Amino acid sequence: MDLFSDYTMTIGGKARTTAATLDVINPATGRPFATVPKAGAAEVDEAVTAAQAAFAGWRQRTIEDRRALLIQAADAIKANAAGLAKLFVMEQGRAFEAARGEVLFGATWLKAVARQELPVEIAEDTPSRRVELHREPLGVVAAIVPWNFPFLLAIWKIAPALLAGNTMVLKPSPFTPLCALKLAELWREILPPGVFNVVCGGDELGPLLTAHPGFAKISFTGSTATGKRVMAAAAGRLTRLTLELGGNDVAIVMPDVDVDAVAKELFHGAFYNSAQVCIATKRMYIHEAVYEPLRDRLHALARAAVVGDGLQPGTNYGPVQNKPLYERLLALIEEAHSQDLTLLSGSPAPEGGGYFVPLTLVDNPPEDARVVVEEAFGPVLPLLRFSDVDEVIRRANDSPYGLAGAVWSRDIEQAVAIARRLDTGNVWINQNLQNSPGIPFAGRKESGFGVENGEEGLKSFTQLKAIFIPKV
């Protein structure tokens, strides 16, 4: 299979093209380099019909059978990891080793989820009756994913949905459709036709999916604004929903940290993937006792970081992924300048047509500055000074979002106490960006609705059925 040409959708196990097409742009050059199909209502209908037809057989297979096929599917990713990683860099922009990391982590994740179980649970067992809790698949799942982790976030949905016996129509972001299209092509020889379908297209395609009556569940990852539209579309039929949405996550750095020891990790937690991470640190609250030394250390790391084309050896951080985001970030930086905020820039961004933004720190802006209040979703990080624990917790929680956060301190007990007071679904202590197939992941407030991963995530792709069995 040639990963670098002939991009087709997969519907019912077969290649599907359309007369209309869409260009895919390499964010390191700003120029198109690939063309993909542009699906409309007819193709969505075809994909749903194929997934519905496949559902009957797929749900009847044993979980062991489905597990074996998903493990084969994971092996196929591993065998093609280098090529998929290169394609990933070309469409998403990330530095090559980090892209390869996501592809390989995707394969590992798929295998780990494939090994999970969905046993019948006994809710009650008395002399008169036994009550069994069965978990049945829902039907056809619509999976809608963003461009920032185009590979892993698709796997987060594919693995549990298919293991539980559902079939799927996946829609990648219009900005990053290529890895998903090739993944489905790779799996045409492994999964039965119709079990896993991929459609791609423009902005109008998401609403076509969420409006389609054939879906039993929509699993969506993306922005909070779009998540609200998805929820409204799902309301008409009470379609089951998981929403993984935006965040404006904090790191709280206590006065007892060893600045030299933590700076690199803090930097990584904020700027990994050019800060296009839902769970990245987006507001860094630093205790006044260590504010200046840590700020200077972070600034030195920003100056030393190499921003460039992800396929060039030595690049640490790629471009931001798309032009609208690039323009929004430039406007955010411009606005900060015009408000006389102090900006500490990293190494200069390469010239040319690529969407490169220098890694930028904002030195203690006011709490109501746009760069603090909004999810920048790019490499512009506000550093904020604090002096009191109650005050910093109040500031951290003063956000419509509640995805994740981190607390940095040598005093683990105090850090846990702070973690328990943060209104978020995840908190890390002295670490960043942690997740794992076995650990449930959930957002609070406008960061989400429902759970992915872990036992709860797997169960969210099932219908609970209680069967009451008399003993007399």
The site for ligand NAD (CB under 6 A) is made up of 144-149, 153, 171, 173-174, 206-207, 210, 221-223, 226, 229-230, 244-247, 278, 375, 377, 403, 443, 448
Using CB positions, name the residue nearest to ligand NAD.
206
Residue placing its CB nearer to ligand NAD in the complex, 162 or 279: 279
Among the listed residues 458, 468, 348, the one whose alpha carbon sits nearest the alpha carbon of residue 118: 458
Task: Give the nearest distance from C-beta 245 to ligand NAD in angstroms.
Answer: 5
Residue placing its CB nearer to ligand NAD in the complex, 144 or 344: 144
Q: Where are the alpha helices (DSSP H) in 339-429?
A: 370-373, 389-397, 412-421
Task: Give the nearest distance from C-beta 318 to ligand NAD in angstroms.
Answer: 16
Distance CA 389, CA 391 (A): 5
Name 293's Cβ contacts closer than 8 Å, sequence gap at least 6.
259
Q: Scanning the structure block, which residue is given the tokens 């943060």? A: 422
Which helix H or strand E contains 223, and what residues bound it? none
Task: Give the nearest distance from C-beta 279 to ligand NAD in angstroms.
Answer: 7
Q: Which amino acid is at 39?
A: A
Q: Which amino acid is at 395?
A: R
Distance CA 401, CA 283 (A): 12
Task: Give the nearest distance from C-beta 288 to ligand NAD in angstroms.
Answer: 29
Distance CA 74, CA 62 (A): 19
Among the listed residues 26, 5, 103, the one whose alpha carbon sits nearest the alpha carbon of residue 308: 26
Distance CA 384, CA 391 (A): 12
Task: Give the nearest distance from C-beta 351 to ligand NAD in angstroms.
Answer: 26
Distance CA 398, CA 250 (A): 11
Give me the active site residues, please: 244, 278
Task: Give the nearest distance from C-beta 219 to ligand NAD in angstroms.
Answer: 11
Q: Scanning the structure block, which residue is given the tokens 């036992």? A: 455
Torsion of the alpha carbons at 378, 152, 225 and 33, rounded to the nearest 10? 70
Residue placing its CB nearer to ligand NAD in the complex, 171 or 240: 171
Residue placing its CB nearer to ligand NAD in the complex, 76 or 442: 442
How many C-beta neighbours within 10 Å does residue 438 have?
13
Torsion of the alpha carbons at 92, 94, 100 and 105, rounded to the nearest 10? -80
Q: Scanning the structure block, which residue is given the tokens 């920032």? A: 148
Residue placing its CB nearer to ligand NAD in the complex, 83 or 101: 101
Q: Which CA distances in Å does 381 have to 149, 202, 363, 372?
A: 20, 31, 9, 8
Task: Give the nearest distance from C-beta 247 to ligand NAD in angstroms.
Answer: 5
Residue placing its CB nearer to ligand NAD in the complex, 67 or 445: 445
Task: Give the nearest distance from C-beta 305 to ligand NAD in angstroms.
Answer: 22
How many C-beta neighbours within 10 Å does residue 452 have?
24
Residue placing its CB nearer to ligand NAD in the complex, 145 or 290: 145
Residue placing its CB nearer to ligand NAD in the complex, 10 or 364: 10
3-class SS of residue 408: strand
Q: Scanning the structure block, which residue is given the tokens 């060893």? A: 258
List, in sequence order, every residue forming a beta bridge with 16; answer none if it has no partner.
9
Distance CA 445, CA 145 (A): 20
Q: Scanning the structure block, which residue is given the tokens 């092996």? A: 75
CB 221 within 8 A of CB 244: yes
Residue placing its CB nearer to ligand NAD in the complex, 180 or 362: 180
Task: Give the nearest distance from C-beta 316 to ligand NAD in angstroms.
Answer: 21
3-class SS of residue 250: strand
